[in-house]
């Protein structure tokens, strides 16, 4: 299988339960809720994605012919020490992640995290599952380690998900022109509903990848 990625980089996790942890980030190209093209955003099922992941004159994707080649690049980015950690995100990484890649990463002693929109099942061998639900779609992956809801979203309420068997529940203020207002609303909701915790994208505040 050929794996198509928008980018691979080494940084700190900037949000959610594992904020501050060093990781190799694999941002896979392609998504089943948005084409990635600006002209299609208004009709997309997910309209607020902050990642450009299509191949264009300004954004070049990276192609890897097999799992061994991709994992060798991931290994080269880990500085040594600690438990090697890779975060597969996107786009929607589950369109591409398969058993060959998971097995190759585990063979290299990497702990594997996946950040997904939850519309596709996560392979059982993935070590950490973060689901970020979107408006108007049906969740297929209804359990995991953390549920991270971008907030607010039209016709989506945090209470819709509280019954699901996740270990951690986060509200993450929607980025954009209304970020300050969205953050205020998220703070107020978390204070009124302690089942939820606030997740801030600290990598954007720190100006790191």
Catalytic residue (one of 17, 48, 51, 168): 51
Whether 46 is covered by a domain: the verdict is: yes
Whether 181 is covered by a domain: the verdict is: no
Catalytic residue (one of 15, 26, 49, 64): 49
Catalytic site residue 88? no
Whether 105 is covered by a domain: the verdict is: yes
Whether 128 is covered by a domain: the verdict is: yes
Whether 209 is covered by a domain: the verdict is: no
d(CA 130, CA 110): 17
Catalytic site residue 25? yes
Catalytic residue (one of 50, 109, 125, 157): 50
- Using one digit for the tens of pLDDT, what is the confidence trace for 162-187? 999 999 999 999 999 999 999 999 99
Catalytic site residue 31? yes
State which H helix or E strand residue 180 sits in: helix 179-192
Is the CB of residue 204 less than 8 Å from the CB of residue 175? yes
Catalytic residue (one of 31, 88, 130, 190): 31
Whether 177 is covered by a domain: the verdict is: no
Catalytic site residue 203? yes
Predicted TM-score (pTM) of this structure:
0.91
Whether 193 is covered by a domain: the verdict is: no
Mean pLDDT, the chain, as a whole number? 91
- Using one digit for the tens of pLDDT, what is the confidence trace for 20-79? 999 999 999 988 876 565 555 555 455 556 555 555 555 678 999 999 999 999 999 999
- Using one digit for the tens of pLDDT, what is the confidence trace for 114-152? 999 999 999 999 999 999 999 989 999 999 999 999 999
The predicted model gives 103-111 an average pLDDT of 98
Number of domains in the chain: 1
Nearest to 31 by CA among 56, 60, 67, 6: 6
pLDDT of 37: 58
Q: Quote the domain boundaries for residue 39.
A: 3-148
Catalytic site residue 50? yes
Catalytic residue (one of 53, 115, 116, 161): 115
Catalytic site residue 46? yes
Judged by DSSP in three states, 17 sits in coil
SS3 content of the chain, % helix, strand, coil (to 5): 25, 25, 50
Residue 11, domain CATH? 3.20.20.70
d(CA 181, CA 191): 16
Whether 173 is covered by a domain: the verdict is: no
């Amino acid at each position: 299988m050929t794996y198509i990625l928008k980018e691979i980089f080494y940084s700190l996790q900037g949000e959610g339960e594992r904020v501050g942890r060093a990781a190799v980030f694999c941002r896979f190209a392609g998504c089943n809720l948005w084409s990635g093209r600006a002209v299609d955003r208004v009709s997309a099922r997910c309209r607020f994605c902050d990642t450009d992941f299509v191949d264009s004159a300004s954004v070049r994707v990276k192609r890897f012919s097999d799992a061994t080649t991709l994992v060798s690049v991931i290994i080269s980015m880990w500085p040594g020490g600690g438990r090697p950690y890779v975060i597969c995100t996107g786009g929607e990484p589950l369109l591409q992640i398969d058993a060959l890649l998971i097995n190759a990463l585990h063979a290299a002693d990497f702990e594997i995290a996946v950040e997904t929109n939850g519309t596709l099942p996560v392979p059982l061998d993935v070590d950490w599952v973060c689901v970020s639900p979107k408006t108007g779609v049906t969740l297929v992956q209804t359990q995991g380690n953390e549920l991270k809801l971008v907030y607010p979203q039209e016709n989506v309420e945090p209470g819709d998900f509280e019954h699901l068997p996740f270990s951690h529940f986060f509200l993450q203020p929607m980025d954009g022109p209304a970020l300050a207002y969205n953050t205020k609303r998220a703070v107020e909701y978390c204070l009124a509903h302690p089942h939820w915790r606030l997740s801030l994208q600290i990598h954007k505040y720190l100006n790191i990848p």
